[in-house]
């Protein structure tokens, strides 16, 4: 167990401090910023969290990835922050990932931060490892005084390309529908990539613009060396607090309107849409099944089913599934037994993942994976990496992907239009 020095202070202006803190963090090679954007929710521990400056880390391919993460967490018994890529599916099932990968992120990366900031209401808790405890006062002074450099690079036009063009998308959805009608699967999440090559972006500026548009409850800025994730995710994958585990899958999307009456009609239509409800309920059943692998018998329950949540860009249908685990259950075992999250795969899960791999053109990587943390006590909270821009600054490659659930009731044109709705914020930010 690593010891940390703790300092608690009251913040007069939380938003100003958050902005300063995020700017100050950019000097470090390892940064994870988690921001709830003050979105009203029932299950949040913190309003914002910043972890920076790696003391130790683990970086690995999918081979024995969960075993390695379990050993790393058990040895550090400290806060660790990082990501799980979708392709860790290959570690838990007899699957592979052979599609094109322009981003080339490691399959799993976690680090133990020297410096940690936890914000709740107007309270800031600072937790520094003992090796840097003398930096606290000096860092606070620098954060309050920090001014943003003015040497912004000249803006370049970004040309967004489609990995799967419209006609090909229709053809692939038709193939997936054939699998459904044949009985191979009931539902699958089919994704497509939008990308730009030989492109440079300002990662922090891009994240700030994306977050301003969407203001989601699981926003993330992640930097590991020259790899970046700029996420406006509305979805929680999995949270553990004490012996309670909670999952909140999203299935079902409707557009927003500035016309209040029309917006209300969109919301009501989503709530009553039989296709969207059936998608959501299928994934709820999948999540219940995943949680039952590690839960105390009889403890899995659905706390809310197909509730409508409203975000800046879209209305979403969300359910909440909870379970209880034994006190000796390792946190990484919970992640391994439920990964990847059902909302990004389909049902039955393994068959859906095989079909997804055959029909998609891009290795998903961090997209539809998860970013979050594990605490010294073994509690954790992870988002689902959707509505996100991924950037490899070394390769000068920018990517964002969107997807939707394909069921027997799916209409290829409507599925395509839903993808464009989900992609709007990312495209707007990148193309100005």
Q: What is the DSSP string of 175-191?
A: HHHHHHHHTS-SEEEEE
Q: Please state, in angstroms and rounded to a whole number, the distance separating the CA atoms of residues 81 and 127.
A: 14
Strand, helix or coil for residue 283: helix
Q: What is the DSSP string of 304-366?
A: EEEEEEE-SSEEEEEEEEEEE--TT--HHHHHHHHPSPGGGSEESHHHHHHHHHHH-SB--TT
Q: The tokens of 155 are what?
A: 């803006």
Among 235, 279, 360, 418, the active-site one is 235
**Contact between residue 261 and residue 267 where contact means Cβ atoms under 8 Å apart:** no
Measured over the CA atoms of residue 258, residue 264, residue 266 and residue 267, the dihedral's sign is: positive
Among 18, 209, 251, 363, the active-site one is 251
**Contact between residue 249 and residue 242 where contact means Cβ atoms under 8 Å apart:** no
Question: What do you get for the CA distance between the two ends of the chain, in Å?
Answer: 47
Q: Please state, in angstroms and rounded to a whole number, the distance separating the CA atoms of residues 230 and 220.
A: 6
**Contact between residue 399 and residue 193 where contact means Cβ atoms under 8 Å apart:** yes
94 exposure class (CB count in 10 Å sphere: 0-12, 13-18, 19+):
exposed
Q: Are strands 314-324 and 244-248 parallel, antiparallel or unpaired?
A: antiparallel
Other C-beta atoms within 10 Å of 283: how many? 28
Q: The tokens of 19 are what?
A: 């902005």
In the residue annotation, 235 being an active-site residue is answered as: yes
Ramachandran sector of residue 362 (left: φ over 0; alpha: ψ -120 to 50; beta: rest):
beta
In the residue annotation, 104 being an active-site residue is answered as: no
Other C-beta atoms within 10 Å of 199: how many? 18
Q: Which residues are catalytic?
A: 235, 251
């Amino acid at each position: 167990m690593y010891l940390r020095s703790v300092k608690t202070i009251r913040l007069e202006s939380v938003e100003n401090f958050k902005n300063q803190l995020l700017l100050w963090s950019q000097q470090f090679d390892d940064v994870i910023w988690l921001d709830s954007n003050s979105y009203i929710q029932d299950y949040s521990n913190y309003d914002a969290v910043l972890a920076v400056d790696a003391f130790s880390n683990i970086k690995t391919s999918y081979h024995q990835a969960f075993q390695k993460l379990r050993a790393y967490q058990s040895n550090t018994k400290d806060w660790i922050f990082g990501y799980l890529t979708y392709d860790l599916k290959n570690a838990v099932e007899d699957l592979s990932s052979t599609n094109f990968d322009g981003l080339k992120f490691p399959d799993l990366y976690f680090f133990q931060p020297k410096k940690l900031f936890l914000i709740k209401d107007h309270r800031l808790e600072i937790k520094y490892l003992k090796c840097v405890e003398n930096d606290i006062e000096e860092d606070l002074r620098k954060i309050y005084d920090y001014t943003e450099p003015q040497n912004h690079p000249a803006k370049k036009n970004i040309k967004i390309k489609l990995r799967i063009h419209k006609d090909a998308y229709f053809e692939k959805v038709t193939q997936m529908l054939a699998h459904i009608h044949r009985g191979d699967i009931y539902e699958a999440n089919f994704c497509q990539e939008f990308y730009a090559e030989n492109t440079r972006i300002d990662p922090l500026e891009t994240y700030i613009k994306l977050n301003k548009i969407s203001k989601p409850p699981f926003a993330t800025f992640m930097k590991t060396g020259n790899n970046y994730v700029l996420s406006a995710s509305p979805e929680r994958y999995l949270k553990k607090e004490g012996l309670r585990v909670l999952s909140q899958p999203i299935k079902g999307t409707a557009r927003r309107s500035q016309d209040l009456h029309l917006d209300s009609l969109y919301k009501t239509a989503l709530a009553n849409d039989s296709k969207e409800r059936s998608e959501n309920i299928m994934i709820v059943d999948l999540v219940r099944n995943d949680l039952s692998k590690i839960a105390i018998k009889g403890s899995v329950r659905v706390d809310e089913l197909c509730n409508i949540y409203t975000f800046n860009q879209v209305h979403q249908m969300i359910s909440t599934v909870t379970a209880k685990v034994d006190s000796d259950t390792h946190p990484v075992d919970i992640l391994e037994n439920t990964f990847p999250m059902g909302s990004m795969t389909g049902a039955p899960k393994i068959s859906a993942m095989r079909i997804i791999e055959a029909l998609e053109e891009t290795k998903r990587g961090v997209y539809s994976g998860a970013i979050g943390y594990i605490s010294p006590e073994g509690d954790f909270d992870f988002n689902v990496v959707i509505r996100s821009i991924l950037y490899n600054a070394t390769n000068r490659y920018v990517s964002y992907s969107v997807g939707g659930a394909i069921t027997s009731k799916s209409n290829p044109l409507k599925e395509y239009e839903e993808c464009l709705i989900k992609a709007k914020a990312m495209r707007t930010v990148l193309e100005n």
